[in-house]
């Protein structure tokens, strides 16, 4: 697409990054199922390997199908570039990789997906990194947690599992004062509901597996670079500001400016970590994004109706959906997420753990799976699955107590979903 007109979201979700195939005229982006690419000559190959020219070398690094997806997600998020990888978990490591070093830490929200909490409490220790978990609603606690070794603040825009909405602008102000970036996982909101970069985020990560693809077919991840952070303002980020030995002393920020993080993610991150997205996965995700706004509208519409019904049911203790008038997050959701508070939330079942298990087993339309963001409605008992590895205190902080189930509301008929929940609750609380 040209750089002339300013296009709307619905247009960009279909066209951004895509052009008719120059060889065949194919309108849909082809799946470039190839490992390597023929160089024009020896000089061309050398220029590509020296990062003097942009092009395709080997599909661990770059692939034309994946490149379209990267441009599309970056465009929808308002970033300058993006790097796609094999999963949302890979995207988180890829996002931290250029920033961290032995002895460095990240300040992270307590309200995160259980797998992320495990990754941050256990796995990153093997790199010599650490995480400090704080309630990001307590801004003083966030400030106090940042020290000389902190390299980023990490949060989710709409937190999994509880559906809590984060005040990204407030966190960004604190991070700006400390000269560190804010990384926002925007998986649950998608750029249709929230554009974290506009609220001050430096980097945005996605599990493209979820709402962006929207059909439960492939895994993938993406890191979007805002292009707004000055990586050379301090000595905290040497991977981006100092000479890179593997490229004969090239300085990524000095050479690539706003695209420094993006180029580093491909030229170093994908080169050495190898967390590559395959072209078929990129193709499925591109197809999904074409209907993102339509799906998110229906997801939100259904979630609002079902959450309101659940809240009035005597068999339910509480509902955490931020779109409800009773939610302490409703005003924040209206301000920062005007198109809706997403379709992910939890509710507590009277009868505790056992009632939750019976509820999950009795549902017929809802699928009991470890996923979210599907066109189908999904449910899971987080305390015994996605957040099972956490301590009781961590589960409580994350919103995954034993008496709670998480629902990802799909795009089916809302009345059918309510009827399914009604009959299952009857069996669970009999």
Distance from the Cα of residue 237 to its chain's centroid: 23
Query: Which class for 36: exposed (0-12), middle (13-18), buried (19 or more C-beta within 10 A)?
Result: exposed
Edge-to-edge strands, sheet with 150-156? 81-85, 221-225, 203-207, 182-185, 150-156, 105-109, 130-134
Given a cut of 90, whether residue 388 has pLDDT beyond it is no
Average pLDDT over residues 67-87: 98
Distance (Å, whole) CA 91 – CA 141: 26
Cross-strand bridge partners of residue 348: 318, 404
Query: Residue 387: its pLDDT value, please?
Result: 62
Q: Over the stretch 260-286, which tens digit does the pLDDT of each residue have?
A: 999 999 999 999 999 999 999 999 999
Cross-strand bridge partners of residue 318: 348
Average pLDDT over residues 391-412: 83
Q: pTM for this one?
A: 0.94
Domains assigned to the chain: 9-288 (3.40.640.10), 292-428 (3.90.1150.10)
Q: Over the stretch 294-331, which tens digit does the pLDDT of each residue have?
A: 999 999 999 999 999 999 999 999 999 999 999 999 99
In the chain, the N- to C-terminal Cα span, in Å, equals 58
Query: Residue 5: its pLDDT value, please?
Result: 63
Given a cut of 60, whether residue 12 has pLDDT beyond it is yes
Structure tokens at 29: 């982006």
Query: Residue 6: its pLDDT value, please?
Result: 85
Q: What is the mean pLDDT of the chain?
A: 95
Given a cut of 90, whether residue 192 has pLDDT beyond it is yes
Given a cut of 90, whether residue 141 has pLDDT beyond it is yes
Given a cut of 60, whether residue 257 has pLDDT beyond it is yes
Q: Over the stretch 34-57, which tens digit does the pLDDT of each residue have?
A: 999 999 999 999 999 999 999 999
Query: Residue 393: its pLDDT value, please?
Result: 77
Predicted confidence band of residue 386 (pLDDT cuts 50, 70, 90): low
Q: Are 165 and 158 in contact (CB under 8 A)?
A: yes
Point out the least confidently predicted range of 106-120, 325-339, 392-406: 392-406
Query: Residue 398: its pLDDT value, please?
Result: 65
Given a cut of 80, whether residue 4 has pLDDT beyond it is no
Point out the least confidently predicted range of 10-14, 370-374, 393-397: 393-397
Q: Are 311 and 426 in contact (CB under 8 A)?
A: no
């Amino acid at each position: 697409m040209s750089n002339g007109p300013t296009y709307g979201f619905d247009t960009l979700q279909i066209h951004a990054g895509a052009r008719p195939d120059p060889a065949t005229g194919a309108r849909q982006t082809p799946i470039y199922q190839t490992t390597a690419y023929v160089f024009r000559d020896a000089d061309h190959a050398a220029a590509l390997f020296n990062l003097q020219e942009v092009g395709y070398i080997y599909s661990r690094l770059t692939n034309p199908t994946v490149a379209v997806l990267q441009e599309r997600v970056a465009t929808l998020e308002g970033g300058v570039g993006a790097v796609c990888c094999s999963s949302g978990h890979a995207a988180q490591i890829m996002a931290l990789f250029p920033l961290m070093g032995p002895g460095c830490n990240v300040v992270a929200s307590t309200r995160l997906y259980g797998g992320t909490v495990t990754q941050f409490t256990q796995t990153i220790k093997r790199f010599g990194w650490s995480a400090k978990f704080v309630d990001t609603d307590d801004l003083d606690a966030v400030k106090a947690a940042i020290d000389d070794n902190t390299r980023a603040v990490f949060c989710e825009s709409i937190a999994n599992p509880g559906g809590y909405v984060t005040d990204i602008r407030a966190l960004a102000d604190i991070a700006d004062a400390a000269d560190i970036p804010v990384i926002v996982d925007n998986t649950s909101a998608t750029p249709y509901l929230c554009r974290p970069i506009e609220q001050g985020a430096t980097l945005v990560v996605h599990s493209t597996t979820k709402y962006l693809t929207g059909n439960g077919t492939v895994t993938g991840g993406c890191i979007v670079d805002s292009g707004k952070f000055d990586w050379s303002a301090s000595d905290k980020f040497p991977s981006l500001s100092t000479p890179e030995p593997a490229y004969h002393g090239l300085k990524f920020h000095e050479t690539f400016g706003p695209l420094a993080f993006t180029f580093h993610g491909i030229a170093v991150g994908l080169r050495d970590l190898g967390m590559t997205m395959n072209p078929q996965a990129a193709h499925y995700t591109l197809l999904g994004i074409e209907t993102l706004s339509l799906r998110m509208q229906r997801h939100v519409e259904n979630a609002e109706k079902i959450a309101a019904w659940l809240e009035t049911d005597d068999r339910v203790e509480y509902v955490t959906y931020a779109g409800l008038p009773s939610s302490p997050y409703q005003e924040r959701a209206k301000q920062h997420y005007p198109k809706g508070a997403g379709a992910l939330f939890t509710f507590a079942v009277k009868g505790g753990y056992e009632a939750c298990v019976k509820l999950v087993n009795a549902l017929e339309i809802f699928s009991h799976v470890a996923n979210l963001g599907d066109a189908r409605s999904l449910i899971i008992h987080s305390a015994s699955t996605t957040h099972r590895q956490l301590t009781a205190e961590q589960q409580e902080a994350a919103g995954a107590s034993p008496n709670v189930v998480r629902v990802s509301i799909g795009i089916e008929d809302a009345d059918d979903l309510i009827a399914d929940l009604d009959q299952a609750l009857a069996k669970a609380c009999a």
